[in-house]
Amino acid sequence: MNNNMNQESDEQRRTASEEYDPLHLAKPGEKTVICPECGLPVPESMKYCPYCGIRMRGGCMSMVIKLLCGAAVVAAAVWLICKLF
């Protein structure tokens, strides 16, 4: 009886770990993408990263836009400082 309970427990653990593994949710052969926020692999079909919650669609593009805006602000500040002195 105890051996039977151990087998059920192992089976439940395997099922639970598969259920909470985001890559288990991927369709067979589906590619994964890297989350721009946390850097973990996420199935391409998911809209949000299951680890950090960032929206995946447009995640990389929004990161590029943020970097470009930051670079523009720094360039404008350097230009203004050079103009004043």
Domain ranges within the chain, ordered by starting residue? 2-84
Predicted confidence at residue 11, as pLDDT, reads: 56
Range with the largest mean pLDDT of 1-5, 28-32, 75-79 = 75-79
Q: Which element (helix H / strand E) includes 18?
A: helix 2-20
In tens, the pLDDT along 62-82 reads 667 788 899 999 999 999 999
pTM over 0.85: no
Predicted confidence at residue 79, as pLDDT, reads: 94
What is the Rg, in whole angstroms, of the alpha carbon atoms belonging to the chain?
23
